[in-house]
Structure 1
């Protein structure tokens, strides 16, 4: 008896015509430069191309996103890569890829990524993309728009406050002192922003919301001249906006998942819009962004169980704001290996990904019998109605909990409404972390399939 039969109880087999319909619409991946021709055709003139991932630790997802990103930059003139990472950490990489800063190589430029999970950005796949971006910019020359690398997330409360002060200290000591005084509101909570969130959410202390807002407004009133100073002010303003949003995020963490999730994804959407607006003015034409984040952030939340429960996300917001100028691509896998931790703030291990649950989209795509394929929703034809029946979809983040697979990693979704296209890799492998404390083979056999059930 298959050890997953209990988890799969009640799921239905797929109709043969559905499998054949997906097989007919699918475009096989051949692992060459032509793999994404049809995807680029579907993307057309979109300015926001969203590239997802079903896990935060799969080599094939990172490799495909990097390959597609390179083609979008070279063939379609995209000038920004914006990722699910903190703004100040990514900004150091941005300086490196644009030939600025003091870092001698990409490995050193990645040093700011020290917060869990480090492997998510400190990996060989990202390293190679960063080196390519730097070489591409150097070949284009300083007179051409440089491709940048930016972060969209909001976890860097303290790092962003330090960057605001550092920016002001070099230009306006009095303004820097005002910023220090405002941000000192957080000092009593130490370096853990969750301690601040807990104390303020339960009324044990006053919030710092006025202070972070005042500092943001103060920066927005500044006027500077020259391209480099305009860039520096924009970067500082984004850090100040991050501090404002992070303060609210950590406060709402204790009010419920939906509220904090919505605030975080709204921040990412607002950052993408601010970046696009600024780069558009900077370069004199509408900016085009490639955005990397998890499927759960980029697939339209309105087509999912989470949306039914009140969650929104980055993909939904960009679709609502920009319509057909947004094109989002989901990624799926049936089984393989992944870098993921057992619990929060634990090392990332190379772990076995269980075969997808029966009845899920991933199991359906496995039944198609192709090692990898592209599925554009516009090509579905007769398979469309069958795919639009809500099914289970898997999401593995930085933590993988195989013992509670169904509860922890699956939700119901209408995949054709979530994404404009999907890339499926049936058997995947773990990405390659740069740090010695990540990527080791998991030793606990009880946590891997098919043992320990």
Structure 2
């Protein structure tokens, strides 16, 4: 089977069948049509991604699942005559051509219509004809139609299309205001009787035409609803529920989050790794929860050994000198920036006034990447407390040393040399260290916790770098399980009254079950695991922005760049928040709060995720994913325009911005 065929089969299995499309005829047609032939030039490698893609004339080709779901809803038979409104590149018409007897596709853009004809002809679809015209008025000369599918959203169902249905015919069309569309199925039961069915929330481009929207976004003159009552828009409802945020240094900022102070775990997200406002907001919330509500664990999406150097600094703990400053692994700007430096300095000052070491707030890393640093930490600890065990550990870890500096290469080597080459050795070392827990803990509990967690990290990291080359959900799930288990170990070590604040990306702290991560890709994350373990005692708080700048790279291991963030898409949650008109706000999404808004927001929409890499030129398929915001988060923090973080450099020490003993800099 060729690679494209394999991708089509996987697309159908993962993106379509698992989401509930069951018609075997529809699934077979989706497996047959080569989607890569219908995307824009240069987009072929993304043809089987679970997203819409750009095509010519600034239009898009629909998400594969939506195409399949609409065709299934239309109940098309082999002898049916079908009309598709909004042919675009011709992809949906090609799928319809595999199922129906005759297909007419109408497209208002002449360039798109011409290209669609060429593509369909080249692939031999002789039963599909593409016309140029206003799709909202249909093709009365070819009516009646057994089924009509509309690939754009109108203010309501076009009257002309209803009238062109055969008796028993089905019309599937998105309707509603942009940002609050639903998929409507209309069945004509008699000459004057139609039945309508709501198939759920969708997001489509506007249906432009005489019985749709005008070019300026208003309703076309022939399609006004006489006497219709005005329904509050979603942005208006958001504006009503939004609680404006004061300045970061205003004590009132932190007090807005007192509603979550009784939780065991408060998880604070970010829509990108390189946005200053996200760091400053999380720092303000963290300071308030630590100072006023007894939180003593600050656990971040960072490597354990690097964070341990910061923890020794903020808790005034003695410890070995690090071989190199922490957070040298790419991307440095995530933690080596001025906002984190300010929080670390505050934590050190806060702890300075607390005599009991157990009540001091600590800084911990949850992540899995720094295998080299973890091995060094385990060996250093054993050298001090049990030299004989250290020698055994060196022998066990020996098989990993060629890959410590670039652990990703270990995955490639493990695939060639045996899947479990080091797994047994590192797990044995982890178990051996944990077995001595009581003996070691008598000497120094904090040091034991550090060494034990490093041993766990090495075992997890070995598996992570071995399986990451399989692709799919396995490596992601291993990483997030490791981070959750690290958090759980911290809470257990600090006692039943310990409370933690977690800093991680939205993709980690928002409940994965209510995004494409869980629904489509079988991925879980820390937020989901915390809800499953702690229930209401976990608060998941997401962050978002409309535009501004961000610190990011173009490629992995690339240099940091300050990039302009594109304005959010009009079919996204971010655009709803932007249109609400409040520049900075907290939106409480907890059950029982703003229930009417929660119901409206529960329609799946796009949400933006920017990580280490940001590629504005491919933003739709690189950085957007479907989500259900009020189920994903308990609250959402919004900054309409945000700026890139400022990474630390030598100039900060020269200006006295950081103290001489500060651990980030040499």
- The corresponding residue for 1:35 is 253
Provide the rounded CA distance (Å) in 1 between the counterparts of 2:304 and 2:441. Answer: 23
* Corresponding position of 1:76: 293
Query: Retained in 2: the 8 A contact 1:212–1:244?
Result: yes
1:243 is aligned to 2:454: no
Per-residue deviation, 1:102: 6.9
Aligned to 2:135: none
Deviation at 1:175, TM superposition (A): 0.6
Against the structure 1 CA distance between its residues 421 and 221, is the aligned structure 2 distance closer, same or farther, given a 3 Å change threshold? same
| Cα distance in 1 for residues equivalent to 2:323 and 2:549 | 28
Distance 2:623 2:446 in 1: 40
Q: Structure 2 residue aligned with 1:311, among 517, 523, 536?
A: 523
Deviation of residue 416 (structure 1)?
A: 0.3
Please state how far the C-alpha of 1:387 moved relative to its aligned partner.
0.4
Task: Determine the C-alpha separation between the residues in 2 that align with 1:218 and 1:425.
Answer: 48
What is the alpha-carbon distance in structure 2 between the residues aligned to residue 382 and residue 396 of structure 1?
Answer: 30
User: 2-side partners of 1:141 and 1:324: how far apart?
Assistant: 32
Deviation per residue, 1:357-384 (Å, 9 max, x gap): 1110000000000111100013323212
Tell me the residue number matched to 1:137: 351
Please show how residues 28-427 of structure 1 align to structure 2 within 5 Å.
28-31=244-247, 32-41=250-259, 43-101=260-318, 111-142=325-356, 145-189=359-403, 191-203=405-417, 207-222=421-436, 223-224=438-439, 229-280=444-495, 285-308=496-519, 309-378=521-590, 379-427=593-641
CA distance in 2, matches of 1:184, 1:301: 37
Cα deviation per residue 1:53-85 (whole Å; 9 max; x = unaligned)? 000000110000000000000111000100000
Whether the 8 Å CA contact 1:335–1:353 is kept in 2: the answer is yes
Structure 2 match to 1:18: 234
Tell me, yes or no, if the aligned pair for 2:372 and 2:404 is still in contact at 8 Å.
Answer: no
With the length of structure 2 as denominator, give the TM-score of the two structures. Answer: 0.61
Asked whether the 8 Å contact 2:179–2:570 carries over to 1, the reply is: no
Distance across 2 between alignment mates of 1:109 and 1:8 = 52
Q: Distance in 2 between matches of 1:102 and 1:17?
A: 57
Residues 434/37 of structure 1: CA separation in 2 closer, same or farther (3 Å cut): same
1:385–1:4: structure 2 CA closer, same or farther, 3 Å change rule? farther
Whose Rg is larger? Answer: 2
Once the two structures are TM-superposed, the CA of residue 205 in structure 1 deviates from its matched residue by: 6.9
Q: Greater shift after overlay, 191-200 or 234-243? A: 191-200
Structure 1 residue 436, shift from structure 2 partner? 7.2
d(CA) in 1 for partners of 2:543 and 2:504?
Answer: 11
SS in 2 for 1:337: strand
C-alpha distance 321-361 of structure 1, shift in aligned 2 (>3 A): same
- Cross-structure match for 1:448: none
Deviation of 1:264 (Å): 0.2
TM-score in terms of structure 1 length? 0.89
Could you give the per-residue CA deviations for residues 190-249 of structure 1, whole angstroms, max 9, x where no partner exists? 632222211223455752000001101110111336676121111101000000000000
What are the superposed Cα offsets for residues 150-199 of structure 1, whole Å, 9 maximum, x if unpaired?
00000011210111111001121111000000000113446322222112
Contact 1:39/1:376, CA 8 A, preserved across alignment: no
Maintained 8 Å contact 2:419/2:466? no
Any unmatched runs of 5+ in structure 1? 438-453
Q: Compared with structure 1, are the counterparts of its residues 392 and 188 closer, same or farther at alpha carbon in structure 2 (3 Å cutoff)?
A: same
Give distance in 2, aligned partners of 1:296 and 1:162.
Answer: 30
Shift of 1:45: 1.3
SS of the aligned residue for 2:646 comes to: coil
Equivalent pair of 1:199/1:205 in contact (CA under 8 Å): no
Query: What residue ranges of structure 2 are gaps of 5+ in the alignment?
Result: 1-55, 63-151, 154-176, 181-231, 652-666
Contact 1:93 1:109 in 2 (8 A): no
Identify if the C-alpha distance between structure 1 residues 373 and 206 changes in structure 2 by more than 3 Å, giving closer, same or farther. closer
Query: Aligned partners of 2:349 and 2:454: how far apart in 1?
Result: 28
Contact kept? 2:179, 2:572, Cα under 8 Å: no
Tell me how many residue pairs correspond in the alignment: 427
RMSD of the alignment, in Å?
2.3
> Cα deviation per residue 1:122-172 (whole Å; 9 max; x = unaligned)?
000000000000000001224661110000000011210111111001121
Quick one: structure 1 residues 146 and 380, their matched pair in 2 at CA, closer, same or farther if it must change by over 3 Å? same
SS of residue in 1 equivalent to 2:579? helix
User: 1:113 is paired with a residue of what secondary structure?
Assistant: coil
1:22–1:380: 8 Å Cα contact kept in structure 2? no
Deviation at 1:36, TM superposition (A): 3.9
